[in-house]
A = this chain, B = another copy of it.
Amino acid sequence: MLAHGSGGKLAHELVESSFLKALANPLLAKLDDSAVFNFSGRLAFTTDSYVVSPIFFPGGDIGKLAVCGTVNDLAMSGAKPLYLSLSFIIEEGLPQGELSQVVDSIQKAAQEAGVEIVTGDTKVVHRGSADKLFINTAGVGIIPEGVDISGNNARSGDKVILSGAIGDHGIAVLSRREGLSFSTQLESDCAPLGGLVADMLAASSNIHSLRDPTRGGLATTLNELAKQSRVSIRIEEEKVLVRDEVLAACEMLGFDPLYVANEGKLVAIVPPEDTDKVLKVMRENHYGKEAAIIGEVRAEHPGRVVMKTCLGSSRIIDMLVGDILPRIC
């Protein structure tokens, strides 16, 4: 009901019965306007809003996504994720059961990621003024001493590591979308990558760049890195893992898996001398067991991404133009 977003009695009841119980921790329980905690060091701060449709999909839901997405943005800065904020925009009429299911997913994902939800907000809008549920999470994390990770740091000669198969999230969400559903065994790869990044940083304090190829897919992420670092990136098609189900769906729908979103994968740019040890720890982690070197960084043609295809030819890989899959995250 609209009144659940009023700030009044029903809003307080909703917060107490649904959110405080599931997400219980001392910082949240104070119910002040801000969460307060001590912090000393380099702080990473990020935010994302999640508008995925449908809100439940194979392998996850909007709640799990909202935790993992923001945890991963922190991890991609080399930070250990610590605390999240959580803000709901709810369409009037969303069944309380669906909201509870999402809150449960949030709790489980936060637990796995080792983060706490410490502050939040709830708004309810009229039926038709939103689509079921939008979630925003912001997050803070701490960057360990000596870590310097940025999209600006890729250097010629660095290797490009991809942590696993691409396209699972986009195709899994799409398989359940109204008017388009098709049957597949595929699940979203949605996962918190803070642990994987911690393992990688323990193996090498010299990782140059990390990024998770979400909206826009691997192609867009590589273009961002090439542009920010003023380098080119050359990858090999045969090294990029794509599951058969994703390939089949992409062929059917006319998509290129390089542009399909992921929510549990990362790209790491690593100096050649550290590549072996980073790859080793990645493959020992559940979320990196299919990690592989897919290419390298070069100095010529700054900003350009090129792929050597399976046929041996070279293809320039541009950033995503237009939007093949709206509301994928």
List residues of chain A with CB under 8 Å of any chain B CB. Answer: 1-3, 5-12, 30-51, 53, 72-74, 76-77, 79, 83, 85-89, 118-121, 123-126, 128-131, 134, 136, 138-141, 143, 150-152, 211-212, 214-216, 220, 224, 228, 259, 261, 318-324, 326-327
Q: Is B77 a contact of A319 with CB atoms below 8 Å?
A: no
Q: Out of B38, B120, B130, B326, which one reaches A43, CB within 8 Å?
A: B38
Could you pull out 18 A-B pairs where Cβ atoms are within 8 angstroms? A3-B323, A6-B215, A8-B220, A8-B319, A31-B228, A33-B46, A34-B74, A35-B44, A39-B40, A45-B85, A45-B119, A47-B85, A48-B121, A49-B121, A49-B123, A125-B131, A126-B327, A129-B327
Q: Lowest 8 CB-CB distances: which A-B pairs, in order?
A: A8-B320, A7-B215, A138-B138, A6-B323, A7-B216, A47-B85, A34-B44, A136-B136
A213 CB to closest chain B CB (Å) equals 9
Q: Which label, helix, strand, loop or mixed, suits the secondary structure of the A interface?
A: mixed
Q: In whole Å, how far is A304's beta carbon from the nearest beta carbon of chain B?
A: 14
In the complex, chain B residues whose CB is within 8 Å of the CB of A323: 1-3, 5-6, 8, 10, 124
Q: State whether B47 touches A121 (Cβ < 8 A).
A: yes
User: Which chain B residue lies CB-closest to A228?
Assistant: B31
Q: Is the CB of B73 within 8 A of A34?
A: yes
Nearest B residue to A261, CB-CB: B7
Smallest beta-carbon distance A93→chain B, Å: 13
